[in-house]
Amino acid sequence: MSPAAQEATAGQTRQGPLAGRLVVDLSRALAGPHATMMMGDLGARVIKIENPGTGDDTRGWGPPFVGPKDDPQATYFLSCNRNKESMALDLKSEDGQSVLRQLLERADVVVENFRPGVLERLGFSTDAMHRINPRLVILSITGFGHDGPESHRSGYDQILQGEAGLMSLTGSGPDDPQRVGVPIADLLSGMYGAYGVVAALLEREQTGRGQVVRTSLLASLVGVHAFQGTKVTVAGESPEAQGNHHPSIAPYGLFRCRNGSVQISVGSEKLWAAFTSAFGIDPAAEGLGTNADRVRNRARVLEVVEAAFATYDPEPLLAKLAEAGVPAGKVRTLKEVYEWPQLASQGLLVDVQHPLLGSVTLPGPPLRFFDQADGTESTRRSHTAPPLLDQHGEGVREWLATTEVG
């Protein structure tokens, strides 16, 4: 086997519950690539198909860029493409379509986030892909859904944060709509998509057939409306942004103290009793006796709590809250988060060797797995860097030429 083929097949033997599964990633930007990165983290072999010359859109999303000036690497791309192989294919060409068919014949999963109708025009409708491989699980992610009156619209994260109501819940108040600081619609649709794929693979064990899994940025955000959604559908109310305080629990949020602020979560009457005892507050004072009272009298709660905190700096205050058993925390910068020992202890930092950048530390996968028999960790431990464009193309072609379907 040539060095290129060895490199292209290196990911097949790594640990994880999806080890041995082949994922063909036709997606770009963030939603689909996040889903396939999750599958790669779980041990699947992920072959990322990219446009020749330019590759995934996110290769050009910056700054910041790092690495050599003649071949800068976007840190955006690095965030969502670890544990993948890259192959450049022109899917409009005869060669590109032939190679894709060969990959689909061998694949367990294909992921795409084209606008509705694009794959059909290329000759790869869901029916056509299932004729090629009836066991194939197809994950399709769109912006507004695959059907309905607005299915034709292009879906971008911030647009959907607004359209799906998330921005109306985020900000200092009703007149200050704000986007979430990460592309949460993309990330959630990728997570829901990966979850759907795993469920479809499990069902395939019973039926022997693959199926189509569909989700959208719109669906993913509606799926996490939680109690704000039932506030509309059941109570008939329209929620509004309330800044850094919980709409249904008080005190729960960000409170000022001397030289800073802390966050607290007083989520039960037992915690309220412990909190008020620690800080000399009358727990049954007018307007404070129950959680419902405190929510209705939020301004009074804010005044009472911040008066109690006024003589404390953040660290002594956090220590006192911990001693009282009240959940609390600070607001860290991302730099502080990545320097936090707790992060490394949870496997949330991984070191990889990048062909151009050398040793690079990436945010790690959020799941860990442990063997039932002896408790040893079976999480995938060896990770590969996000690939260069077409880094594995030659090796994948050689692998296709020397392997049988099935």
pLDDT in tens, 203-223: 999 999 999 999 999 999 999
Q: Is residue 16 part of a domain?
A: yes
115 pLDDT band (50/70/90 cuts)? Answer: confident
3-state DSSP assignment of residue 328: strand
Whether 237 maps to a domain, the answer reads no
86 and 389 in contact (C-beta within 8 Å)?
yes
Number of domains in the chain: 2
CA separation for the pair 194, 191 (Å, rounded): 5
Output the average pLDDT for the chain. 94
H or E, element range at 352: strand 349-354
Rg of the Cα atoms in the chain: 25
Backbone angles phi, psi at 65, to 5 degrees: -115, 150
Can you tell me the mean pLDDT for 384-388? 97
The crossing angle, in degrees rounded to 10, of helices 393-402 and 94-106 is 60
Q: What CA–CA distance (Å, rounded) separates 67 from 276? A: 54
| E-assigned strand segments in 154-296 | 212-216, 252-257, 260-265
Let me know if residue 115 belongs to a domain: yes
Which phi-psi region, left, alpha or beta, contains residue 404 (left: φ > 0; alpha: ψ -120 to 50)? Answer: beta
Asked if the structure places residue 377 within a domain, the reply is: yes
Are residues 103 and 205 part of one domain? yes
CATH code: domain of residue 48: 3.40.50.10540
In this predicted structure, what is the pLDDT of residue 371? 85
| pLDDT tens digits for range 223-275 | 999 999 999 999 999 999 999 999 999 999 999 999 999 999 999 999 999 99
CATH number of the domain enclosing 323: 3.30.1540.10
Q: d(Cα 179, Cα 161) in Å, to the nearest integer?
A: 7
Q: Is residue 256 part of a domain?
A: yes
Phi, psi of 268, rounded to the nearest 5 degrees: -155, 165
Q: DSSP letters of 120-187?
A: HHTT--HHHHHHH-TT-EEEEEESS-SSSTTTTS---HHHHHHHTTHHHHSSSSTT-----SS-HHHH
Catalytic position from the list 56, 157, 186, 390:
186
Q: Rounded mean pLDDT of 297-301? A: 95
Indicate the length of the chain as a whole number: 406
Per-residue pLDDT of 303-350, as tens digits, reads 999 999 999 999 999 999 999 999 999 999 999 999 999 999 999 999
Res 117: pLDDT: 86
Which residue range forms the structural domain that includes residue 282? 252-331
Does 79 lie in the same domain as 53? yes
In a domain, residue 57? The reply is: yes
Report residue 88 as tokens.
Answer: 């450049």
CB 28 within 8 A of CB 113: yes
What are 291's two structure tokens?
């959680």
Determine whether 186 is an active site residue. yes
